[in-house]
Chain A
């Protein structure tokens, strides 16, 4: 697949960036969505002083969010959360109907 980089403004929660390309006269529409999953575990697991335990709790939370996500979308990329972030961003692309 060839790549075209298109700068887009930051997306808010549930915003969808629709990209339409025409290749050799054939129109293809892609939908991208940056999802924002909760990343903070302090409130739910207040006893997690150990960083490893906290990391495990976060991973579990992320895995559950990904597993429960609509199957119409495929995961493209998990972004690195900034320090002390309470949400983690994940890029999805809507599956094309075949």
Chain B
């Protein structure tokens, strides 16, 4: 599903050049659950942003579902993202001015899904995430755990093949964190591919494979023993 070949990302300012990713080679098969770990500043989020087509690499190749996408223009990247990739962020990234229902409905509006279909899909996913009783509330009226459940609902409402999660439990207490991890595991068991950046060894334990990044390089990949 995903393959990168010698992926490079360099950030440049007038004075400094920082190599965030240096010849990263990673392959992720359909249906896999991969955790990316490593200390702060090692390039985890940069890699996730490129894999999610939110950013472009400075060099190397990125093959998504058999298509080389590294040099895709913004419009092409947006089109490919829509419906194919769902995002879950540490800080939820919900739109404060929209209700829970409207936040989850938004990706379907971009995909021009009919009103009746939208209503059914949003209702179903809110039920599933056990948040339907809050559908008329605004994000600021919810707890962190509830906001992340809404964010996951928004990520999965289009039934994407790939979910990218950047520290999904980073802002949550352990009980809500575990609930979010259970939801991600459940989605993976149903066939959704998941790539998750995390600092948490116990969250990483849920993945099939753990990739350790350091200073923009993959240092090691291992299959964690299930405890």
> With an 8 A cutoff between CB atoms, is A76 at the interface?
yes
CA–CA, A67 and B224, complex, Å: 15
A75 touches B212 (CB 8 A): yes
A66 touches B225 (CB 8 A): no
Which label, helix, strand, loop or mixed, suits the secondary structure of the A interface?
Answer: mixed
Chain A residues with Cβ below 8 Å from B178 are: 2
Chain A residues with Cβ below 8 Å from B215 are: 55, 58-59
Shortest CB–CB separation between residue A16 and chain B, in angstroms?
Answer: 17
Task: Return the contact of B222 from the options A28, A52, A58, A74 (Cβ within 8 A).
Answer: A74
- How many chain B residues touch A (CB < 8 A): the figure is 22
Q: If the complex has contacts A1-B205, A74-B222, A76-B201, are A52 and B19 also in contact, measured as CB distance less than 8 A? A: yes
Q: If the complex has contacts A2-B178, A75-B222, are A62 and B214 also in contact, measured as CB distance less than 8 A? A: yes
Per-residue contact bits, chain B 18-55, to A (CB 8 Å; 1 contact, 0 not): 01001000000000000001111100000000000000
A3 touches B174 (CB 8 A): yes
CA–CA, A3 and B174, complex, Å: 8
> With an 8 A cutoff between CB atoms, is A10 at the interface?
no
| Nearest-CB residue, chain A, relative to B202 | A3
Q: If the complex has contacts A52-B19, A62-B214, are A78 and B225 also in contact, measured as CB distance less than 8 A? A: no
Shortest CB–CB separation between residue A14 and chain B, in angstroms?
Answer: 21
| Nearest-CB residue, chain B, relative to A55 | B215
| Nearest-CB residue, chain A, relative to B201 | A76
A74 touches B224 (CB 8 A): yes
Q: If the complex has contacts A59-B214, A59-B217, are A78 and B202 also in contact, measured as CB distance less than 8 A? A: no
Q: If the complex has contacts A52-B19, A63-B220, are A77 and B202 also in contact, measured as CB distance less than 8 A? A: no
> With an 8 A cutoff between CB atoms, is B219 at the interface?
yes
Shortest CB–CB separation between residue B140 and chain A, in angstroms?
Answer: 29
| Nearest-CB residue, chain B, relative to A95 | B225
Shortest CB–CB separation between residue B219 and chain A, in angstroms?
Answer: 5
> With an 8 A cutoff between CB atoms, is B116 at the interface?
no
User: Can you list 13 contacts pairing A with B, beta carbon distance less than 8 Å?
Assistant: A2-B178, A52-B19, A52-B22, A58-B215, A63-B220, A74-B224, A75-B212, A76-B201, A77-B37, A78-B38, A78-B212, A80-B39, A80-B41
Which B residues lie at the A interface, using CB under 8 A?
A: 19, 22, 37-41, 174, 178, 201-202, 205, 212, 214-215, 217, 219-220, 222, 224-225, 227
- Sample of 4 more A-B contacts, CB < 8 Å, known A59-B215, A74-B224, A74-B225: A63-B217, A63-B219, A78-B219, A79-B39
Closest 4 CB pairs of A and B: A80-B39, A59-B217, A76-B201, A3-B202
